[in-house]
Structure 1
């Protein structure tokens, strides 16, 4: 695999480097016994990464019929490696070992993947990642539709637009440590400039700074500046561009990493347990879901490891 994400993740394939890395991260996060924990977790960290790479290698080489299963388990291993940076005792209890996500056990007649949903459980890997790695709250029992989650991935827009599924967004830029949104976005929200600024300050907890050169400039938490941790800016990898939702009620307070994980969980469950629907879709190309799923899988193979690499390297700075 020559993906940019895996090239950077392989920088961690050294026990000496990883132990030093973990010790620095533990010290920065005021975790007790940083040296002891770094020695305890160094090998485990590398093993999680290597196991993830094995899943990804097989996923890239395997047909689409089983690809979602391999991809999901690869993602889970990458997230477990990341968890060791914030929770050196992971897994400290059995409740964090389950996936922590549920979906409908039986698909109804005329089932549509795009309209399906998943639910985040109170315990399990997903919630532990949300709380320990991203320090996010208020997502217990939260439901997300595939439509919402796919809308977090700018690379999906070409497919969604071709299928007449609207997912409007505008380009955003980071300039002088400010997030800058084009002023015309207020019109897209059917708001005055003043009302739009108030809306963003209230819903996103950003602080308005000034208007300049046709942009609204905001201060925000520095996590918003990094594609791997941002919960409101959307990032397109190929062109390295940032986007912002161009309509209301599109703020879901989860980073794109989690959107990939939740979509992949649902697809892995379908590939395992909804065999009849799955093969009807793959062999007959019977609905728009086929193109959506195929496109998502190709994006996730490249983008998820990239985000994990950036997340870890960000900790190293």
Structure 2
């Protein structure tokens, strides 16, 4: 992986006190103190150094350095999006916990390596939950272009949600070419066309072959599915859509025409749980970082060519994925928030003009 110069050039804004002050004023129409701005820029600078060191590090430690970089970048972002609060308001801890990893990875090494996909984490109070709250579990949707066509904020998941490593891996479209063969296409389907309006509800055409493996999960939520050759038509009214939003995912690494993140609908992670792609990338990095830190024997064996290493190509691609997409999605989120603030300001000024013309 090479650090994307364009992405990190944009992210230099998080390292500039003047730009951070300007962004915060545009977002919240309030002044940010220089002290608070320094807290944001310091975290952003740390993040870049962690990513830079990860880029040059061996596989033995690279995922751990990447996770520290992701955590620092998340910290900078949530502080920018948390008006009136600073570092002292953040809950200590990662906000994620490993669950019974010692038992999952016990016994013969080759057997343990095959069980890596079964590793579980649990959400808890801490940086991750703060990040999810301040980013509003926000997802930028690319339906037709490299620009953001639409955006959604998923409901905040409760603390204590447990997820397996493979539950996240198998929902990332960028990994589909190297997932174990039995899992290809079974957890996400590419979107050919999509629309939504309050009056008409939600509509999408998706790849039939990919979608059929998990279409029952959407039928159970109240969606109607009509197969039509290579495509399946999914639709629902606005009430169903608002109550049970689809789990959207994109291919950010393997973009269409090199610039358009390819939109997919994924199998819901859990019936009532939806996560932004930023949250999923953060969690994947946590899995990789903690495996590296606390189980170095297993981690080194996994990437050194050992019996039981069937998941290594997928895990390696997941590492490249989080390194690439998390910084890109952070700047996309900030730009989308700034765009939304500008649009709100324009609407407000138009409203003032209208009320003053009587």
Settle same-fold status: TM greater than 0.5. yes
What does residue 171 of structure 2 align with?
A: 152
- Equivalent-residue separation in structure 2 for 1:175 and 1:283 (angstroms): 43
CA distances 1:16-64 after superposition (whole Å, capped 9, x unpaired): 222011122123xxxxxx21x3534222222221211111111111111
Map 1:1-317 to 2 at 5 A. 1-27=3-29, 34-35=30-31, 37-88=32-83, 89-93=85-89, 96-103=91-98, 104-106=100-102, 107-109=105-107, 110-111=111-112, 112-121=115-124, 123-134=125-136, 136-161=155-180, 163-168=181-186, 169-172=188-191, 180-182=203-205, 188=212, 196=219, 199-200=222-223, 215-216=233-234, 232-237=247-252, 238-239=254-255, 240-245=261-266, 252-286=273-307, 287-317=309-339
Q: Which has the larger radius of gyration?
A: 2
Structure 1 pair 295–9 and aligned structure 2 pair: CA distance change class (3 A): same
- Residues paired across the two proteins, number: 287
- Equivalent-residue separation in structure 1 for 2:182 and 2:311 (angstroms): 13
The CA deviation at 1:254 is: 0.7
Structure 1 pair 182–59 and aligned structure 2 pair: CA distance change class (3 A): same
SS in 1 for 2:222: helix
- Equivalent-residue separation in structure 2 for 1:120 and 1:300 (angstroms): 19
Structure 1 pair 190–301 and aligned structure 2 pair: CA distance change class (3 A): closer
Q: Which has the higher strand share?
A: 2
CA distances 1:132-153 after superposition (whole Å, capped 9, x unpaired): 3225434211001111111231
- Structure 1: stretches of 5+ with no match in the other structure: 28-33, 202-212, 225-229
The CA deviation at 1:269 is: 1.6
- Structure 2: stretches of 5+ with no match in the other structure: 138-154, 225-230, 256-260, 340-358
TM-score in terms of structure 1 length: 0.78
TM-score in terms of structure 2 length: 0.70
- Equivalent-residue separation in structure 1 for 2:205 and 2:193 (angstroms): 12
